[in-house]
Structures are given as C-alpha cells and as structure tokens.
Amino acid sequence: MIVDMPATSTHQVSRRLVTLREQGGVMTLGRVLTFVVVTDDSTNTEEVIECANAASRQHPCRVIVLVRGAKKAAPRLDAQIRVGGDAGASEVIVLRGYGPLASPEACAGMTIPMLLPDAPVVVWWPGPAPSVPAEDPVGQLAGRRITDATAEKNPVKALEQRASSYHPGDTDLAWTRLTLWRALLASALDQPPYDDITGAVVDGEPDSPSTDLLAGWLASRLSVPVKRTKVGAVGGMHSVRLERRSGSVELIRPDAKVGTLTQPGQPPRLVTLARRPVRDCLTEELRRLDADETYQSALAGLAGITRGRAPAGRGR
C-alpha cells in the first residue's frame, strides 16, 4: 500500500502511520533499527528505496527517505508512506522537503519524530555525502553512517576526506565491496608455505576508492611496502600481488567478473569476483552497529602507500 500526502506535516504523517497500523495490523515491535536515507532529486529515488527494501528483508526496520527538493522554492513537505508489499520487511516513509525544508537542519528535524523508540539509527548517503558525516545534523542522530566514495565527483579525494574526518561508526560502501577480495587473500595466506610477506602491489582504476582502501588495508595489516598502481578502465579493482620469497600470491580480475588466484604449489583457481550490488553491501553493513576498526585502519594505511604506474601490458 502506498499513501501519498502532499503539502503535509510530520505530525500528520505520524498520525497516519498509527492509523495504518491499527487498520492493517502492522506492528513496529519487530523492527530492529531505523534506517535513514538522505538523497536529493538528482538521484533515482525509486532505485534507492528498492535497495533499502532489499536490505530490510534481512534487517526489518523503519526506512525514512529524506529527499532534498529545490532549495529556491516555497517551503513545503510532501510525504509518502509505504507499507505491506510495497515496503519489503519495513515501513517506508518518504519525506520530500522544498525551500528551507531541504536544509540539513530541517531534514534532521523531520527525522526525529519518525525515529523508532529505543532503536539504533543508521544513515546512508547513496550520493555525495557531507564532508564530515558525523557532524552533519542527520548524521549526529546515528550510531552508524554509511557513505559511498564511488558516488562522489572525485572518489579519491573523497576517500582522503573520510580518512581525515573519521569518527567511530563511519563506513563506506567502497570498503564493503572488498569483502570477497580480503577473504580470498586472507585464506590464501593461511595455507603453506608460511613465508613472510615482503611487499605488495595493488592495481586498479585511477579513481577507484576500493583499490586505494585495499592498499591501505594491506599496509596497515602487514606493515610492508605497498605500491598502488593504475590500470585502464577495468571496473575498479584489477589485481593484487603479495610478494614473498617462495613465490607471490596473486589475485587478478581482468574482466571485472571472474578472478584467478595463483599461489606457489597449487594450480590456478577461478573465483567469482563480480562487483557487488549496492543492496548486498547494505545488507552486510546493517549486520553490525559497532565501529568498524578494520576500516579505520585501512583509512590510516592510505598514508603509507606509494603510487606509480602499472607495468606495461598489465590491465589491457
């Protein structure tokens, strides 16, 4: 069920929610958190809601979508409530503010009356995020703040800003997309021979924040020289090579879909490494509500990597 409420107020939206629960028997007792999405008219709102709904099927929640409309407009709040089949395993409240109601302060003010009592709050910016998410009026309401450096005009600079402004509870989907890469590399090092890693080389697109984060992670965890090189348009990450005396461990993904893992004493192994969809990344991030200290270490490790060009012929 979708209920449109043009030119309304948060008080009227709250009352309508109560009425819908009484009529349809929809209870909030099973909701485990409030998931706030902050976006604007330049973003595909329906796609964003679909991703939030997909994540809510594993983490039942109330989804509040704040859409910032035209700032040079008369103050107006349009709302929409979705319940039942149109809301996944959640209640979806879309609040579209215009004029002064599109400001960050107004968005936070509209959010507070909609929060579930005594439930954690997670905020996601699917597009460009505030320079310091933890200091944003909406971000201050949340214990977890999810950004996506890939959606920024300059992803690498955005990642540097994340590193300088990190607060416990921050995370980024560029980091979440690396889960499979990190798992494969860690499992490869759990097998003999157990030689020490002497260096690492990480290849990827020039503006791939995930490639930078993986290099930062290796630098922080292994305390060895890590070189970040650049290849052409291959879809983000291209390859990782962990150098050691007995032979290198190498994970290469030339087509952005299937990777090949090679290591001494074993035949090459094909692994699925397609780019993870946003809904899968969101579902993973909503599993934890504490600070991601490994992500923090990866951000800190960015300062310890060196940069250069990929050897001729690689990534082509």
CA dihedral of 241, 247, 249, 251, whole degrees rounded to 10: 70
Residue with tokens 């250069």: 308
Q: Does 305 score more than 60 pLDDT?
A: yes
Residue 131 in tokens: 């320079």
The share of the chain scoring above pLDDT 90, in percent, equals 78
Residue 218 — pLDDT band, cuts 50, 70, 90? very high
Q: Does 125 score more than 50 pLDDT?
A: yes
Please give the average per-residue pLDDT across 167-189, as a whole number: 96
CA distance 92 to 53: 8
Element containing residue 83 per DSSP (H, E)? none
**Residue 22 pLDDT:** 77
Could you read off the pLDDT of 31-66 as tens digits, one per residue? 889 999 999 988 889 999 999 999 998 889 999 999
CA distance 174 to 159: 9
Residue 316 — pLDDT band, cuts 50, 70, 90? very low
**Residue 6 pLDDT:** 97
List, as one string, the DSSP characters of 148-185: -GGGSSSHHHHHHHHHHT--TTEEEHHHHTTHHHHHHH
Asked whether 113 and 24 are in contact (CB, 8 A), the reply is no
CA dihedral for 15, 21, 27, 31, sign (positive or negative): negative
Q: Does 232 score more than 60 pLDDT?
A: yes
CA distance 226 to 229: 10
Residue 89 — pLDDT band, cuts 50, 70, 90? low
Could you read off the pLDDT of 126-145 as tens digits, one per residue? 999 999 999 999 999 999 99
Q: How far is CA 291 from the centre of its chain?
A: 14
Asked, as a colleague might, if the bond just before 277 is cis with ω within 30 of 0, I would say: no
Asked whether 281 and 204 are in contact (CB, 8 A), the reply is no
Residue 136 in tokens: 């944003």
Q: Does 313 score more than 60 pLDDT?
A: no
At residue 236, what are phi and psi to the nearest 5 degrees?
85, -120
Q: Does 302 score more than 90 pLDDT?
A: yes
Mean pLDDT, the chain, whole residue set: 91
Q: Does 27 score more than 70 pLDDT?
A: no
Q: Does 297 score more than 90 pLDDT?
A: yes
Residue 300 in tokens: 């800190």
**Residue 9 pLDDT:** 96
- Please give the model's pTM, rounded to 2 decimal places: 0.93
Residue 315 — pLDDT band, cuts 50, 70, 90? very low
CA distance 11 to 17: 10
Nearest Cα neighbor of 286 from 142, 155, 161 is 142
**Residue 83 pLDDT:** 86
CA distance 240 to 284: 23
Residue 7 — pLDDT band, cuts 50, 70, 90? very high
